[in-house]
Every structure is written in structure tokens, then in C-alpha cells.
Structure 1
Amino acid sequence: MALSPTDALRRVLWGRERDRLRATWRILLGFVVVLGVLLGGGRLLGRVDVPSVLVNGPVALLVAAAVGAYALVTSLVPGERPVGGYGLALDRRWARDFLAAVVVGCVAQGVFTALLLATGTGRVVETLSAGVASGGGAPAVAVAVAATAVAFAAVGLWEELLFRGVFVLNASEGLAARGLSPGRAVWAAGAASVLAFGPAHAVVAAQGATPLFAAGQAIAAAVYFAVAYVLTGSLAFPVGIHFATNFWVASVAGQAGSGFPALVRLERDLGAGAVELLLVVLPTAVLLGLILAWVRVTRGAVSPDESLSASVRRRHGSAAGE
């Protein structure tokens, strides 16, 4: 018996079990809602005269609105998990993981900056730069630095929520539902998130870096973000590393000509040679080693987080619903 158009649409969206949206649509839902609010809100914010000392601080308001909108939508869609279910349980353990990740991220960025200077691909052109806070004294610099930190924490939050939480967890469930073992499904979804996250960053290459270097560096970052998420089942560690990375590049070893206050500013010349490969591989290896060490100390074993694995196991073999 042929399905009616309505039943066919329901089958595409929910499958035969109809207990929740299929994995593909759950992923798209998150991206559409969050990116839609960010892009739409960004256009509105562009019409507001924001004091320059706040640099990109107002971005945090857009992120709060976007995550809030997604939380509202998930509460209205049958079977959809709450936003906190993606690894945003803001408890003591989350805070501990986040702070540890900030330290780990700073160590890796310190290695990267040292390599830049040692290889001559980076040169200090300015020290103790106030950027947009110039002329406002210490209070203005403090406000600008604080606004920068809040904004980059917010950027790390929404990117990790989408690319690690929403993407990896839902893709893992979808792959497991189609017969892949839960463990393989989790790692395969993590690998897919790397491919989704990395190449897109070629279009936002930092000053002095070629698109190829930017893409390679973003792919490496996506690898350790995904590893951190899979092994902890929490967004705390990837968000912490993401924040530390962005803040370091903006306000510790900032770019020449940038408006962010910075301890030093570096002029970079990054292409696609052997030196640049070293600049990507060595800090990444350091970061991965520190992530594995932290997981071993705090979790007792280096393996996919049990809560993440349990969620995936519940969907194993239920392709009709995914």
C-alpha cells in the first residue's frame, strides 16, 4: 500500500518509530537555529554603535540568545534531548575540566609561539599594545581584555556545542542505529566532525597565514577538540581549549594591526612548507598528550566516555528510528 504524502514526510523526518527526529535532522536543527540567530542578530548588532573598548564583547549576547533559542526549540520538539544533554552539565567537574583545558590550551599555544619565534616565521613588532583601549588608561584596557575573554568563551561555547555536542552525539547514534558498533560509531562521528569543521576555516585565515595553513591548523584543532569530547563526554574540555587558543592569538601573542589589547604583537609569515608542518604537528601532539594524561588521571581509563557510549548503545540497531 502506497504511503500518503503526509506519511511519507513523517517517515523521512521521524522514521517508523516516530519517537524522535532522525539523526540528520537533529544535527541540521541545531545548526539552523543557532547559526540563524547568530547571523540574524549579527546584522542587527552591526547597526548599533558599540563602544570600541568593548571590541567583540557583544558577541556573547548573541551566543546567549542563540543557545537560548535552541534550548527552547529542543523543549518543543518531541524526543529531542535538552541542550544540557550534549555535555553542558555546569557542575564542579565541568568547571574543573574547563580550567584544566584552559591551562592545556595555553601550554600548547606557548609551544606554537615559541616555534614561530625560533623558526623566524613570527616576529615581535609591538609589546604591551592597548589596541582599541589606547588612551583610556588601565581601566579601559581591563574592560577591553575582559570583553575579549567573554566573547571568545562564548565563541568556543557555540562552536563546540554544534560541532562536537550536536554533531558528534547525533551522528554517533545515527551510525550505531545502522549497525556500526557503538565504539566505532563514536570515533567515526568524531572524524566526520573534523571534516566538517576544519576545511571551512580556510576562509577565515589569520593575518599572515595562507588558506591552506589555516585549514590544516583548523583540522588539527578539530582532531583534539573531538578527542577531548569523546573521552570526557563533556563540552568543558573542548570549550576550554577553544577559548584558550582564541584568546592567546588575540591578546597574548596577538596579530599585527589588531584592535585587541595584547602583551605582544607578532607579524606572521605562514605558508605550506616543512616548517609550517612542524608548527601544526608539534603543538597538536603536545595537546593530545596532555588531554590523554588528564583523562587518565581524572577518569581512570582512556576510552570513550561511558555516558556518551551508553547513549549510543541505546540506539544500536534501531535504524527505523534514526
Structure 2
Amino acid sequence: MPAPRFQPLTRLILCVLGVVLVQVVLVLVIRSGVTTAAALSHRPAAPLVADFVSSHALLLSVLACPPTFLWIYFCRRVLDCRSFVSLGLRVRRCVRDSLLGVLAGAAAIAFLFGILYILAGFALGHPPIISWSPEAFDTPAPATVAMLVLYAGAFYILGFGEEISFRGYGLHNLAAWLGTTKALIAQAVIFALLHLSNVLVQPAHDNASSSANPTLSVSTLENALWDVRWGMVNIALIGVFFALCYLKTGSLWFPIGFHVSWNFFQGCIFSLPVSGLDVYRLLDIKEITESLSSSLTGGSFGGEGSVLLIPITSALIYFLWRQPDHPQALLDLSLLCQPEQPLQEPEPVSDSTASSELGDVEPPRYSTFKTTLRGSQNGSAHDLERSDTPLLLGVIEKPAPPVTMAPPTPTVVAFEPVVLTPVAATHEPPVPFQETVPPVSAVVVNEPSPNAEKDTPPAPAPVVTPPVPSPPASKPSTGKPPSPRW
């Protein structure tokens, strides 16, 4: 894995400059378009530009997200030399973590709205009345559903972009520069300060200016900044909470789902401003906002400006802080904290060191030849070439002595055992055939009896058959030992 091209701070500065350049180009394009429209309608351009920016702040933020994604992808791949999914965007648990985040975000804002509803009931002496908003009441049902779907998509793009920017690229490079704990705090503070721009471009929710003068007045700006005093604290705590969600789950999909669900249910369902932005509202909760102070409801900044959110977020942060970190998140954060070290050549070992530390290991040797690796069939004597610079081979152990194998055991024939000896066996020559003559005592001679007649011929002598000689014990030797059977 290659090392990153620059230091973490340099990479962060380059990424921020690219994002700011994208915003400036977008504003210039929109301003030129609005100025052209004002010139065609013979109206002053400055009020039209201010009106368009203040009333379409959410749309402008959504339009700036796609080029921001591309720039962050470029920075991650080219500057960090790491994969884009290593920011916590692996697809393995995408659906499950996103759904859990959506449910958790909806439950959190519903819990806050429930507390406001109960407090408003105590303040009014009766349960507050909640009705349909004028936008939803005057709009057909299909159009209302379409508006909710469009705002859900816009909040998803916006939440995805903020999580990739702060808990993704920003957190990883800040952790490589400052460490994980300081990076959590730093990205949360920056995340809170950037939400002040919503107050500067959006008219106050309770004191909207007229169409004739759409710019913010001094009193309206003071009220908005007063409402945002707790909002900055809450958004910083929410930034820490989202970063801890990534550390404990190893994935950005849970904080993305939580972020999207929080903004959508806060603005479109429970009809509270979203970080100072006025969005499409489904319900009318005027009795709740008018019966409670702006410190409880958040005023023009919305639910993030409520002081009630501080203990809720702090409890969630404490609960997550006690949980163990996910190994995948620790691995992703360590990819930039520990860059690859260059390989170093081994130092030669002296004779004394080799003899003392390595025992029977030879001292390092230097080779003055270099060779071209080829196949076993294509080698030649010209592959070895003289080299000017000796190459260190390192410490080479002595080769082990060759193993002498014992001679195999000769095969013994059952009917005639043969003993293999290195010396040629000596065999006696075969005994020649000799006739054996029986002894004289063994021959019986029939002498004529005196009483026998003279005309009777003498009986013939018995014929004795000589014994058949036995065959030789073995073949005549040729002077060579028999070949082994293997």
C-alpha cells in the first residue's frame, strides 16, 4: 500500500480549498442566472439574488453535494492513496445499519417532540391542538406525498454529503494529524460553526421579512443569533455523537441514516425548522411554539436549538463512549496514521559479531556477479556478467553435510538364498564323472560244485550298475557378482 502524498494538514487544506471553490463557482453561476432574469424583467438584481439564496438555501446545498463528492473521492484516491470505501462505506452492512440509523433518528426526534408536547400541555392547561399545516391542507394528497419524497431525497443527499465530509474524510485526516480523541472534538466544532451560515442566509422563522425587503434586518439577525446560542452546543454534541457512532459500528451508514431521519422528521413531520432552514411542513404546531420559550423549542433554529437536547445528547455520548471501538473503524483510521516505511538494506555483519551471535554461521559474503533469471532449459554460460558494485548476499548458513543412505537390503530368495558381497565369490570346479568299481568282496563268483555235471555251463556274473553322478551344486561362476534386484 503506497504512502500518502502529503502530510495530513496539507491534505485537509487542499480538500477544503476544493470544496470552497465548488461553492464559489455554484454561487457565481446562480448569481449570473438571477442577474440575467432580473435584467430581462427590468427589476433590481440584488434583492432577487438575496431572495433566491434565502428561500432556496436547501436546494443550493443539495446542488453543491455532487461536485463535493467527486472532489472528496479524488482527494481520497490521489492524495490519501486509499480506497473510498475505507471511509466507512462498505456495502456489507449498508441496508441494516441505514435502517437502524433511520429508526434511531426518528425515535430521538419523536422523544424530544413528546417532551415539548407535554410541557406545552402543562403551560396551556390542556393538550395543545395539532392540525394540518396550510401547505398540506391546500395541496392534494398526491402532491403532498410527492413533496415529502422530494424532501426525503434532498435530506438524504445533504446528510450523506455532510457525513462523508466530516465523519469520513475530515475525521480520518484529523486523526492522522491530532489523534482520535482530538479529532472527534475538532470535527465537531467545525461542524457546528459551518451551520451558522444557515442563520445568515435564511430569514428568521418567527420574524420573516416581507417580500419587499427580503434581506435580514439587524433585529432579526440578533434574534436568530440568540436562538442559535444553544444550537451551536447541541450541533457540536451531535457531531461527537455521529463520530462515536462510526467508531463503535465501524460504518458510516448508521450516522448517515440517523442524520437523514433526524432532519426529515424534524422539519417535514414535526414542523420544526432544520438548523435554521424553513422547509415543507406537514403539521401546524403553533400552539406548542407559542406557549413555550425559544430556549425550549429552539426558536427559529429548530430542535437543535433546544436546551432540552443537551442532556439527551450527553447521555447518548456517555453510553457510546463506554462501548468498545469497532476493529474495522480502528483499522480504517490507522491507514493514514501509520504510513508505509521504505525498505532498508540489511547491514553487513562483522566477523566478530557473526562468530559471537550466530555461532557456526559464516560472515557475510559479497558477490561480484549478477545473473539473469531464466528457465532451466534456456540457461547459458553468458548469463553471468561481471558487476562493478558488489551485491551483499547477507549472512548465509553453511550447507548441511550430505546424507549417506545405507545400501538397500538384498532380496533373499526362499528356495536359494543369495548373499551379496563386494568380493567375487569363489566356486569350486565341477567334479568330473568317474566310474566307481565295486570292491572285490562285493562280487559273488559262482564256483562249480564238485557234484555238478561237467556239461553244465557256469552261471553268468551279475552286472553291477554304477551310481548316477549328482548334478553340480551351482552354475559355473563367470567371475562377476550377480546384479541386485532393484
Indicate whether the TM-score tops 0.5. yes
Q: Deviations over 1:37-76 (max 9, x none)?
A: 24533553574899xxx9956754532232124324544x
Shift of 1:190: 1.0
User: Which residue is 1:270 aligned to?
Assistant: 294
The reply to whether residue 192 of structure 1 matches residue 192 of structure 2 is no
Give the distance between the partners of 1:55 and 1:140, measured in 2 at CA.
22
**Could you say what secondary structure the match of 1:172 adopts?**
helix
Query: Could you tell me how far apart the structure 2 residues matched to 1:302 and 1:204 are?
Result: 34
CA 1:290–1:153: 2 relative to 1, 3 Å = farther
1:302 aligns with 2:323: yes
Contact 2:88 2:252 in 1 (8 A): yes
Partner of 1:84: 85
Measured in 2, the distance between the counterparts of 1:188 and 1:117 equals 37
Q: Structure 1 residues 39 and 217 mapped into 2: Cα distance closer, same or farther (>3 Å)?
A: farther
Q: CA deviation at 1:18?
A: 7.3
Structure 2 distance, partners of 1:60, 1:71, is: 17
With over 3 angstroms needed to count, the CA separation of the structure-2 counterparts of 1:70 and 1:318, relative to structure 1, is: closer
In the alignment, structure 1 residue 128 sits paired with structure 2 residue 129: no
Residues 81-104 of structure 1 show CA distances to partners (whole Å, capped at 9, x for unaligned) of 343321222x24022111101111
Q: Given that residues 5 and 79 in structure 2 are in contact (C-alpha distance below 8 angstroms), is that contact kept between their aligned partners in structure 1?
A: yes
Query: What is the one-letter code of the residue matched to 2:189?
Result: L
Once the two structures are TM-superposed, the CA of residue 259 in structure 1 deviates from its matched residue by: 4.7
Kept in 2: contact 1:74–1:81 (CA 8 A): yes
Q: Displacement, 1:156? A: 0.9
Structure (1/2) with the larger helix percentage: 1
| Aligned counterparts of 1:195 and 1:258: Cα–Cα separation in 2 | 24
Residue equivalent to 1:68:
70
Structure scoring higher RCO (CA < 8 A, sep ≥ 6) equals 1
Q: Distance in 1 between matches of 2:24 and 2:264?
A: 22
**Equivalent in the alignment of 1:7:** none
Q: Deviations over 1:122-179 (max 9, x none)?
A: 9967522263x6644112111111111111111111111111111211111223xxxx
Letter in 1 for 2:184: G
Task: Spell out, residue by residue over 1:192-232, the C-alpha distance to the aligned partner (whole angstroms, 9 max, x if none).
Answer: 21222224434545746712121122122112111112222
1:156 aligned residue: 159
Q: CA deviation at 1:253?
A: 1.0
- Judged with a 3 Å threshold, the aligned counterparts in structure 2 of structure 1 residues 32 and 240 are, in CA distance, closer, same or farther, namely farther
Secondary structure, in 3 states, of the residue corresponding to 1:120? Answer: helix
- What do residues 262-294 of structure 1 show as CA deviations (whole Å, max 9, x unaligned)? 234353632389xx87612343256447868xx
SS in 1 for 2:283: strand
Q: Look up the SS of the partner of 2:132 in the other structure.
A: strand
Contact 1:98 1:237 in 2 (8 A): yes
C-alpha separation in 2, matches of 1:236 and 1:96? 9
Decide whether aligned partners of structure 1 residues 168 and 39 sit closer, same or farther in structure 2, where only a CA change above 3 A counts: same
2:377 corresponds to = none
After superposing the two structures, state which structure 1 stretch, 257-266 or 218-227, moved more. 257-266
Query: Are 2:105 and 1:105 aligned?
Result: yes
Which residue of structure 2 lines up, in the alignment, with residue 227 of structure 1? 244
Verify the 8 A CA contact 1:230 1:305 in the aligned structure 2. Answer: yes
Could you tell me which of 309, 313, 336 is aligned with 1:284? 313
CA contact under 8 A between 1:106 and 1:244: conserved in structure 2? yes
Distance 1:84 1:315, change over 3 A: closer
How far is 1:33 from its partner?
A: 2.7
Q: CA contact under 8 A between 1:20 and 1:78: conserved in structure 2?
A: yes
Mapped partners of 1:141, 1:291: distance in 2: 38
User: Which entry has the higher C-alpha Rg, 1 or 2?
Assistant: 2
Structure 2 unmatched ranges of 5 or more: 38-51, 207-223, 298-304, 343-486
Change (3 A) 1:290 1:264: farther
Task: Please give the alpha-carbon distance, in whole angstroms, between the structure 2 residues aligned to 1:44 and 1:117.
Answer: 44
C-alpha separation in 2, matches of 1:253 and 1:161:
27
CA distance in 2, matches of 1:194, 1:106: 22
**8 Å contact kept, 1:27–1:170:** yes
The change in CA–CA distance for 1:250 and 1:63 in structure 2 (over 3 A counts) is same
**TM-score (ref. length: structure 2):** 0.49
Alignment of 1:110-259 (within 5 A): 110-120=110-120, 127-129=131-133, 131=135, 135-175=138-178, 185-202=179-196, 204=198, 207=205, 210-255=227-272, 258-259=278-279
**Backbone CA RMSD of aligned residues:** 3.9
Q: Which runs of 5+ in 1 are unaligned?
A: 1-16, 176-184, 293-300
* Aligned partner letter, 1:189: A
Moved more, 209-218 or 119-128: 119-128
SS at match of 1:44: helix
Equivalent position SS for 2:195: helix
Identity %, equivalent residues? 21
| Corresponding residue SS for 2:294 | coil
- 1:242 is displaced (CA, Å) by 1.1
Q: SS of the counterpart of 2:295?
A: coil
Aligned to 2:26: 41
**In structure 2, do the counterparts of structure 1 residues 86 and 198 end up closer, same or farther at CA, with 3 Å as the change threshold?**
same
| Cα 1:236/1:19, change in 2 over 3 Å | closer
User: What is the CA-CA distance between 1:254 and the residue it aligns to?
Assistant: 0.9
Q: Which moved further from structure 2: 92-101 or 303-312?
A: 303-312
